[in-house]
Amino acid sequence: MLCLIGWVIGFFFYELGLLIHLLLVLAAIIAIVKVLSIKNDFK
């Protein structure tokens, strides 16, 4: 039982880590797009 709870918690944190990585990648892409669009506005 304790092993099962540990596995569930571990799986939850693993999924949470994946979600955080996806959000970081998404934020980086948005930041790059904003910077590129600002540079294009100056032209």
Per-residue pLDDT of the chain (43 residues; tens, 9 = 90+): 788 999 999 999 999 999 999 999 999 999 999 999 988 877 6
Instruction: Say what the pTM is.
Output: 0.60
Q: What is the pLDDT of residue 1?
A: 76
Which residues lie closer than 8 Å to 30 by C-beta, 6 or more apart? none
Return the DSSP state at 1.
Answer: -
End-to-end, the C-alpha distance of the chain in Å comes to: 64
Q: What is the pLDDT of residue 43?
A: 64
7, containing H or E segment: helix 2-42
* Alpha carbons 38 and 11: distance in angstroms, whole number: 41
